[in-house]
Chains A and B, each alone.
Chain A
Amino acid sequence: MQELVNRAKALLADGTVARVLGWKAGEFAYDPEPAFFETEEDLKDFVYDGFCGANLSKYMIEASKLEGKTLVFLKPCDSYSFNQLTKEHRVDREKAYIIGVGCKGKVDVKHIKEAGIKGIESIVGADYPNPAETLEIKTLYGDKTISYKDAMLERCHVCKGKDHVVFDEQIGESADTVDAERFAEVEKIEAMSPEEKFAFFRAELSKCIRCNACRNVCPACSCRKCVFDSTKFDSAQKANTTSFEEKMFHIIRAFHVAGRCTDCGECSRVCPQGIPLHLFNRKFIKDINTFYGDYQAGEDIEAQAPLTDFTFEDREPGQFAERG
């Protein structure tokens, strides 16, 4: 981690960048938050450890409008979001100095709490580059442990890989954390009857408190003005008038990011209610892969996205109808 700070200091000092976009320590050890650092002094708060799951790409939209370059640290999966935003002209590649930072899987306190560990005072073992196999947790109720793997974010179990798709330089090693099938959960839902599916999503989405965290964190939800915040459209009002407003919101959101979602998993990570929101997006990704061949949003900046492209090899509409 010190290597990252040193490099940031050097780039600030030689004027390559005007500011640094990274993570700083939060109130607790397990909640570091995205932060801009403008001086060497500021960087004393810089952290990079297993809890730094936050994807910094979206912050580059605003940073692109500022004077000078911004140094941004991107984990391999974050770099896909950055690329997708570049493709959509939302971030300016020229305004970014990207350090591709290594990643050995990110953990989240949510999973620790889900494992029944309450009253957390401190957590040891989530350091980068050498995380422990087991996290040691001091709680009000005594010392507890959880394996690093069990505390890992869902997205790390189905990690896209150790390679950055965009960077100016790379620092640090990455680890292979894949131990699950990416579309296994989607397949489970696909196998349900329509009634079961509806019941499943109703149960999950009923937890939604419409805090908008998923939308605000999502790099694909980068519209200047969201249709749900605009009076020009009736989306918000229409959603309000149904008895199941949250369903309308999440389904409309999933359609809006379809084909552009890189599956970064931020929506599920930030949801305070623990709704597996990534499942909607992953269903779209699975369908796109099935119909148009494997496509990873953000991987190739020049590639035509299947949903906004037409080729002679495209499936005929009848095939979709047959499939249901």
Chain B
Amino acid sequence: MQRIGVFVCHCGSNIAGTVDVKRVVEAIRTEPGVIHAEDYPYMCSEAGQQLIAKAIEEHKLTGIVVCSCSPRMHEATFRKAAANAGINSFMVEIANIREHCSWIHKDVEEGTEKAVILARAAIAKLNLDTPLQPGESRVVKRALVIGGGIAGIQSALDIADAGYEVDIVEKTPSIGGRMSQLDKTFPTLDCSACILTPKMVEAAAHEKINIYTYSEVEKVSGFVGDFKVDIRKKARYVDSTKCTGCGLCQEKCPSKKAPSEFNRGLNTRSAIYTPFAQAIPNVPVIDTENCLKFKTGKCGICQKICAAGAVDYEQQDEIITREYGAIVVATGFDTIKLDKYDEYAYSQSKDVVTSLELERIMNAAGPTKGHLERLSDGKAPKNIVFIQCVGSRCSDGRGKSYCSKICCMYTAKHAMLIRDKYPDTNVTVFYIDVRTPGKNFDEFYRRAVEDYHVNYVKGQVGKVMPQPDGSLLVQGVDLIDNKQIKMNADMVVLATAIEPDPSVRNIATMLTASIDTNNFLTESHAKLRPVESPTAGVFLSGVCQGPKDIPETVAQAGAAAVKAIGLLAKDKLTTNPCTAQADILLCNGCSTCANVCPYGAISYENIQINDHGIREERRVAVVNNALCQGCGACTVACPSGAMDLQGFSNRQILAEVDAICR
């Protein structure tokens, strides 16, 4: 029989405001096993912990229930206090009477009743608790960064500078990411490539950084400190060790009709290509869908003219398996598809472009060599209309409910750059709100309005109609003057919402990292652990976690790196003892548990069994406790109930349910 002490916390008025803590103490005094119960204003305080220690000693307690906040907040505190007072730290149960109770109830009667029930459940569980001992696991001193944009590059550089090996896996042929597609950056208007390419070069040259481009993560197993990852290095059909990057193959390639991904499909590229001039590595890849050699078997020009003999049509995908202690996810973003926004005529007119396409048009290496011109007829636009929040802050379900955060600033940038370079061009911006929080951001926006006379109109555009003369009729509303606006434009730019790169879903599943309804990776705590995934050992860098501009992305990339370094610096990790165990006398050996185990922690062995006198060899499940993460999937899948989770046994959970339903 346990000797249980129950400690009810007021949490100031956080709990005591809606829960009559004195009544809770009295109500649970008669519960089985309870021999001591008391309340205190702040149980987590030094004095509160001393009170627990004193009670443990005085009443020779074998376990304690603390009725307080979520175990995510203070379970560790109370486990430590219990251990210091001489009882096993797993003989501590938390009844969450704050988040689960006082904060969501208004009525004291209801709140008190529920608090008593939650306390009873915790007591019922503690009655079946047994002391558990944590084990140890190793830390592989190497990090994996998934995504080679500015976020991934920065995280990798910071981790590598701390002395740890880092691998970057990038799915496209070059690192650089979205930032490499940008022309200028706000609020300083410096050239994006000029600040990015030195970072790319630094990462490529870093002795601790290894870059896998044109590669994807295919499988992840293991756990914090000891992940095992399969990386698929897609066949480039060009030998990186031989290629000199001379570019002759791209020049001579006869198949030049593939849309350029880098230029957002605004122009074409050859079938053998590097995405852009400063690509790292400067080794082309062959796009087999457009390559004549692969399509028809005839051609082979690139192979013939390559002086280095680097072109190899026989090259195969390669699977590289490596171990990592920490994983940083930096998968970035893309703009949303605009097929649900037909009113802006994006699919009908070449002169309706997204802001990211405008970046390419404005860029000297872009499809128009940096000249601002209409893609339909090459004429210089005289009237340009920018439409904000296309798919952002959307309440009708077509787009995203969130603010994409970067559009107000880059639109101000575009407007200013256009007015600066082409002063005879009229620029109108339709906006819902202009949001400019950030260092020197509002000053930047005001310069666009006051110095560059960009015409900002508060209101949305209802329709863009291509006219027979090639112009675009923009129909909108000015909410301040309360009037309809009809204006002719030569070009319309849509501030298209951003969303996480679609590849993140797959990666999140492999990492068992959670994502929200918008596919952004969820952080462990919105305020206090913003760069850590709830999955231990997985860290979040950049827009994969939420919309961000470049400075924020770089700051978060550094923060994620620091968290990863903090993990890699440890030699051993303490493992959770709450892992699964198979009762070999009950096990049928049916493999159901191994099928559902996401960590590959269960294997089977044929062992000699003495089952109440019946001696026979049986196939039974064996759990690798280093791999088991205690998720419990096996315990519910097991038809015979042979699988059980230490610290969360089926009996304990049913005892809790019974206590709640009593």
Contact = CB atoms under 8 A, between A and B. Distances in A.
A131 to B, nearest CB: 37
A89 B641 contact: no
B588 A308 contact: no
Nearest to A255: B639
Given A224-B640, A225-B586, A88 B592 contact: yes
Given A227-B640, A256-B639, A309-B595, A232 B588 contact: no
Given A65-B616, A224-B640, A227-B641, A232 B592 contact: no
B590 interface: yes
B198 to A, nearest CB: 39
Interface string A84-115: 00011110000000000000000000000000
Given A88-B588, A225-B586, A233 B651 contact: yes
A234 B651 contact: yes
Interface string B606-637: 00000100001001000000000000000001
Nearest to A304: B595
Interface string A284-324: 00000000000000000000110011001000000000000
Contacts of B651: 233-234
Given A232-B641, A256-B639, A308-B596, A225 B650 contact: no
B332 interface: no
B307 to A, nearest CB: 45
Nearest to B587: A224
Interface in A196-235: 222-227, 230, 232-234
B641 A233 contact: yes
Interface in B64-84: none
B589 interface: yes
Given A89-B619, A224-B586, A230 B641 contact: yes
A69 interface: no
Contacts of A312: 505-506, 509
A56 B298 CA distance: 62
Interface string B357-381: 0000000000000000000000000
Contacts of B505: 312
A260 interface: yes
B591 A233 contact: no
B305 interface: no
A233 B653 CA distance: 12
- Classify chain B's interface size: 20 to 34
B585 interface: yes
Given A232-B641, A233-B651, A308-B637, A225 B585 contact: yes
B618 to A, nearest CB: 8
A146 to B, nearest CB: 39
A230 B586 contact: yes
A138 to B, nearest CB: 46
Interface in B569-610: 583, 585-592, 595-596, 604
B132 interface: no
B589 A89 contact: yes
A308 B592 contact: yes
Contacts of B595: 304-305, 308-309
A237 to B, nearest CB: 11
B654 interface: yes
A234 B586 contact: no
Interface residues of A, number: 24
Contact of A90 (B509, B583, B588, B596): B588
A224 B592 contact: no
A314 B588 CA distance: 28
A110 B650 CA distance: 41
Contacts of B509: 312
Nearest to B637: A308
A234 to B, nearest CB: 6
Contacts of A223: 586, 588, 639-640
B640 A89 contact: no
Contact of B650 (A88, A233, A257, A309): A233
A9 B40 CA distance: 83
A238 B604 CA distance: 32
A82 to B, nearest CB: 15
B659 to A, nearest CB: 13
A163 B418 CA distance: 74
Nearest to B505: A312
Contacts of B604: 89
A89 B590 contact: yes
A312 B619 CA distance: 32
B379 to A, nearest CB: 47
Given A89-B619, A227-B641, A232 B590 contact: no
Nearest to A309: B595
Interface in B331-378: none
Nearest to B589: A89
Contacts of A225: 585-586, 640
Most buried by A among B506, B509, B586, B604: B586
A225 B641 CA distance: 9
Contacts of B590: 88-90
A222 B588 contact: yes
B591 A88 contact: yes
A305 B639 CA distance: 14
Contacts of B640: 223-227
Contacts of A309: 595
A308 B595 CA distance: 6
Contact of A234 (B589, B616, B654): B654
A241 to B, nearest CB: 10
A89 B586 contact: no
A186 to B, nearest CB: 23
B544 to A, nearest CB: 19
A225 B654 CA distance: 20
A223 B611 CA distance: 14
A92 to B, nearest CB: 10
B590 to A, nearest CB: 4
A298 B506 CA distance: 31
B656 to A, nearest CB: 13
B108 to A, nearest CB: 32
Contact of B591 (A65, A89, A232, A238): A89
A270 to B, nearest CB: 20
Nearest to A307: B637
A88 B654 CA distance: 27
Contacts of A227: 640-641
Nearest to A221: B639
Contacts of B650: 233
Contact of B588 (A224, A230, A234, A257): A224
A238 B658 CA distance: 10
A242 B611 CA distance: 32
Contacts of A232: 583, 586, 641
B516 to A, nearest CB: 14
A234 B589 CA distance: 23
Contacts of A88: 588, 590-592
A260 B637 CA distance: 12
Contacts of B588: 88-90, 222-224
A88 B604 CA distance: 12
Contacts of A87: 591
A232 B641 CA distance: 9
A223 B642 CA distance: 10
A304 B594 CA distance: 12
A224 B588 CA distance: 6
A260 B639 contact: yes
13 contacts: A88-B588, A88-B590, A89-B591, A223-B586, A230-B586, A233-B651, A256-B639, A257-B639, A260-B639, A305-B595, A308-B637, A312-B505, A312-B509
Given A227-B640, A308-B592, 13 more contacts: A89-B604, A90-B588, A90-B590, A222-B588, A223-B640, A225-B640, A232-B641, A233-B641, A238-B654, A256-B639, A308-B595, A308-B596, A312-B506
Interface of B: 505-506, 509, 583, 585-592, 595-596, 604, 611, 616, 619, 637, 639-641, 650-651, 654
Nearest 7 A/B pairs, CB to CB? A88-B590, A223-B640, A308-B595, A308-B596, A89-B589, A227-B641, A256-B639
